Amino acid sequence: MTAQVKYADVEVGTEIPERTFKIDRANLVMYAGASGDFNPIHWRESFAKAVGLPDVIAHGMYTMAQAGRFVTDWAGDPGAVVDYGVRFSAPVVVPDDGGATLQISGKVEEKLDDNKVVVALTARAADQKVLTRAKAVVRLA
């Protein structure tokens, strides 16, 4: 675990450096097992294409979880996130040959009382925004 970020050390506009998360179909199968979401759009290419998708897509909640991990890794404490929400704007397409890359970055948007900050997140895959209105309220040390 990284050192905890201190409230006094961040200002509005503080940028959290981008991180890249590689996603392959094995990740999706493992997530399906953990979540119980075995919808074939997340693991069977022929089914995904038959319902009009370009290929297998990542679970929306898996994508959201990666952005949440980005925030908790930055904060240095998995319990620091006190509120978190996103809207899904596009699926993360996960081709069999090479998978997908999810890029996540953040910026401190507001400082609140009680050592809390609002972090606005940007999540992109294949040059497309996949999460919108992605924000986390984080209590810092």
Region of residue 20 (left: phi > 0; alpha: psi -120 to 50; beta: else): beta
Residue 56 lies in a domain: no
**Which CATH number belongs to the domain containing residue 17 in this structure?**
3.10.129.10
Residue 121 lies in a domain: yes
Residue 46 lies in a domain: no
Residue 50 lies in a domain: no
Average pLDDT in the 113-129 region? 98
* pLDDT tens by residue, 80-119: 999 999 999 999 999 999 999 999 999 999 999 999 999 9
pLDDT at 28: 98
Residue 42 lies in a domain: no
Residue 66 lies in a domain: yes
Residue 51 lies in a domain: no
Q: Which domain holds residue 121?
A: 7-22+62-139
Token pair belonging to 108:
């401190």
* pLDDT tens by residue, 9-48: 999 999 999 999 999 999 999 999 999 999 999 999 999 9
Residue 119 lies in a domain: yes
Helix (H, G, I), strand (E, B) or coil at 46: helix
Task: Find residue 116's DSSP bridge partners.
Answer: 139
Positive or negative, the CA dihedral 65, 15, 135, 78 is positive
- Count structural domains, the chain: 1
Helix (H, G, I), strand (E, B) or coil at 11: coil
